[in-house]
Amino acid sequence: MFRVAAVSTLALGVALPAFAEEVNLYSSRHYDTDFTIFEAFTEQTGITVNLIEASGDELIARIQSEGVNSPADLFWTVDAGRLHMAVERDLFQPIRSDVLEERVPANLRHPDGLFFGVTTRARVIYYNVENGRPENVNTFEDLADPDLGLTVCIRTSSNIYNLSLMAELIEVHGEDAAEAWAEGLLANLARRPQGGDTDQIRGVAAGECDLAIANSYYWGRLQTSQNPADREAAARVLPIFPNQDDRGTHVNVSGMGVLTHAPNPENAVAFLEFMTSPTIQSILADQNNEWPAVEGVSVTGPMRDWADFTRSDTNPAALGANQGAAISVWDRVGFP
């Protein structure tokens, strides 16, 4: 249960100046517990948080439509791909903050300060514990091996998470090798891609496929679900964190940037700094079974035992820049 006391500003150790009286946040996150965090920010600074919620794509369209008259100060969304959409449309302004640059690692923020990662998640491989961990699966590349002897579940190639995964493979290997990988993965599919990440994990638990690709927090959600069937499915699978002996596991972010026409840019920076304070980082990560963007911050949820792994240092800006190429690669091999 989320408690107000958990975010008491007395425990934050964050000295933030009080600027004007409001900051306007457009967010694609939908967690009731965020309101407690916003109240703590207001208590600390005197700045009221005005929240507009919708999907990331809807908010990008709204900000563009509002133009110079947009009241939005901040845009918060998930995945480097969506953040890059905002960058491409010149929706973010570059900001400099010693606090943010000290807290948020360089590989989790835009090189020009256009956005900053707030939480992180990994895209991992799941297997059925009854079958044991497959010895021949240690990397994403292994999933395309014609001699794999195992079947894979994954959602459609148009999904933003799979576009970002492909974007990293392009960044690391180039388009030709990434295309060959997509062809090999296609040959090893257990079924036509369908459903969301949770459905891929359930597919492994039910024996419909041997392996699945899904984001880490979906497994955490199943573990903490009120539905016994979800918890049972989570207990039947375990993750493999790929590429631990080379570049590290593919990691993505939820991130936030200050908008080009922000009417309250100073307040927006103060809010971003607040969101990267250690106590708030821990709460944000726990509420969606993610990991903090700030190093050294602990979590208490089901992902705490899986926090120690080697992460890819591919910058989310590169993942975003390769989105177009990723679409082309998936399409060329006819991946559903």
| Rounded Cα distance, 64 and 73, in Å | 13
Q: DSSP letter at 162? A: H
CA triple 66-67-71, angle to 5 deg: 60
Per residue in 267-303, pLDDT tens?
999 999 999 999 999 999 999 999 999 999 999 989 9
pLDDT of residue 186: 98
Low-confidence stretches of the chain (pLDDT beneath 70): 1-20
pLDDT of residue 19: 45
- pTM score of the predicted model: 0.91
**Is 3.30.390.30 the CATH classification of the domain at 121-249+320-332?**
no
Domain ranges of the chain: 4-120+252-308, 121-249+320-332
Top-level CATH class of 4-120+252-308? alpha beta
284: exposed, middle or buried (Cβ count in 10 Å: 0-12, 13-18, 19+): buried
